[in-house]
Amino acid sequence: QLDSLLKKMEINVAEAEKRTGKNTMNMQETYTVYLIETRPAEAVPEGGTPATPDCLWRRYSEFELLRTYLLVTYPYIVVPPLPEKRAEFVWHKLSADNLDPDFVERRRVGLENFLLRVASHPVLSNDKIFFLFLTEEKGWREAVLETGFQDKVDSRLKSLSAMFRVKNPDKRFTDLKHYSDELSTVIAQLLRVRARVADRLYGVYKVHGNYGRIFSEWSAIEREMGDGLQSAGHHMDTYAASIDDILEEEEHYADQLKEYLFYADALRSVCKKHDLTQYESEMAAQDLASKKQQKEELATGTVRVFSLKGMTSKLFGQESQEQRESRLAALEQSIQEGEELLKDKNTECQEFVRTAWEDIERFKEQKDRDVREALISYAIMQISMCKKGIQVWSNAKECFNKM
């Protein structure tokens, strides 16, 4: 296994910038571009300065093109997903507008994460087109289109119906499909609950601002208690204001879970492509069986299935010995080709299962590790938020004590 690209290169999506330009329809549009910085990952000597990074700008649609290329070129790999195009599962105070600065910032983090995922993948990181995506601003789009991957996309469209016609589905992939469906359902529910909780928290925190207002109004009419009330009000205001940053940070953990919501789609995509390779090998087997049956009928002169050819030969006399022999020879040739094709398709199918399963095992380990970390970080964050809440009320209590 070759070393992943991350060992040789540092990759950052350093910033996002809004631009306005003409689109293909010659209409004005505003869009966001992201700055990708790369530099060699060499150890910098003490006191030395690191190499200046190479920089280039990419639009979200170019990231999409790269991912489509990877999906088509590596059908047996669980290709890392991109961050969402429009915000979903958000608490209502958070803008879902895709040019909103907070959303753009979270998307910048998500795009960087996507590049790091690809760059650390044992297979994807060695792809030439991916390397060009990071290093060649101008000729990249042409290079990716020249690979002809889009023709493969079109020819694979039939795969959609193939899954319904596979005769002996592979149990492992059927189970994987169920697993990915259930995974996306569970994570979607989790994200919905979290958004509802965030909404309620937001309300509770902001209402503390009313305590602040009342305490400071009250302090204005009290001589002895004035200072204590004023300070307590100040603590309440601080508390009310702190929720914006808290929920913005929480969104970061939600995004980590959301990535696995989209990963479920990548798993389903591998299952679909497995169905297609299996369907093709089943079709080759069926085709070969029917040719062998034709040969047997021709050799013995018995027709098991009614056919127009059989009917015409009864009406207009048998074909000559020569005609029969040349037909037999052609069938022989065709059977040989059929056997070769079947062998190739079976090998392709076995190879697909082997490589896909290797990548699925790698993915599962990564998923267990990431989800565990995200949930633990989320829990730690909730605990620290509650501790801050206790602290605010303890401070208020001190203020009341001094009155």
Mean pLDDT for 318-331 is: 80
At 296, the pLDDT band (50, 70, 90 cuts) reads: confident
pLDDT of residue 1: 41
Cβ pair 44, 10 in contact under 8 A: no
Q: What is the pLDDT of residues 121-150, one digit of tens each?
A: 999 999 999 999 998 888 898 999 888 887
Q: Which pLDDT value is given to residue 111?
A: 94
Give the integer Cα–Cα distance in Å for 284 and 275. 14
Strand order in the sheet with 54-59: 9-22, 28-40, 54-59
Confidence at 352, pLDDT banded by 50, 70, 90: very high
Structure token digits, residue 148:
């002809």
Measured in residues, the chain has a length of 403
The pLDDT of residue 96 is: 53
Fold of 169-298+329-402: Substrate Binding Domain Of Dnak; Chain:A; Domain 2 (1.20.1270)
- Section 32-46 average pLDDT: 80
Q: How confident is the model at residue 389 (pLDDT cuts 50, 70, 90)?
A: very high
Q: pLDDT of 44-68, one tens digit each?
A: 666 666 667 788 899 999 999 999 9
Sequence ranges of the domains in the chain: 169-298+329-402
State percent of the chain over pLDDT 90.
55
For residues 153 and 70, the answer to whether their CB atoms sit within 8 Å is no
Q: Which is nearest to 253 in space by CA: 382, 101, 339, 117?
A: 382
Instruction: Report the pLDDT averaged over residues 140-166.
Output: 74
**In angstroms, rounded to a whole number, what is the distance separating the alpha carbons of residues 251 and 257?**
10
Cα–Cα separations (whole angstroms), residue 340 to 82, 274, 353, 397: 40, 21, 20, 84
Average pLDDT (256-266) is 93
Q: Spell out the SS3 assignment of the chain.
A: CCCCHHHCEEEEEEEEEEEEEECCCCCEEEEEEEEEEEEECCCCCCCCCCCCCEEEEEEHHHHHHHHHHHHHHCCCCCCCCCCCCCCCCCCCCCCCCCCCHHHHHHHHHHHHHHHHHHHCCCCHHHCHHHHHHHHCCCCHHHHHHHCCHHHHHHHHHHHHHHCCCCCCCCHHHHHHHHHHHHHHHHHHHHHHHHHHHHHHHHHHHHHHHHHHHHHHHHHCCCCCCHHHHHHHHHHHHHHHHHHHHHHHHHHHHHHHHHHHHHHHHHHHHHHHHHHHHHHHHHHHHHHHHHHHHHHHHHHHCCCCCCCHHHHHHHHHCCCCHHHHHHHHHHHHHHHHHHHHHHHHHHHHHHHHHHHHHHHHHHHHHHHHHHHHHHHHHHHHHHHHHHHHHHHHHHHHHHHHHHC
pLDDT at 2: 47
In the predicted structure, residue 379 carries a pLDDT above the cut 90 = yes
pLDDT at 403: 87
Question: Residue 202 and residue 378: Cα distance in Å, rounded?
Answer: 17
Dist CA 206 CA 93 (whole Å): 12
What pLDDT is stored for residue 29 in this prediction? 82
Give the closest residue to 302 by CA, choosing from 314, 285, 286: 314
Quick one: pLDDT at residue 97? 58
Q: Is the pLDDT at 400 greater than 60, yes or no?
A: yes
User: In the predicted model, what is the mean pLDDT of the chain?
Assistant: 86
Percent of the chain with pLDDT over 70: 86
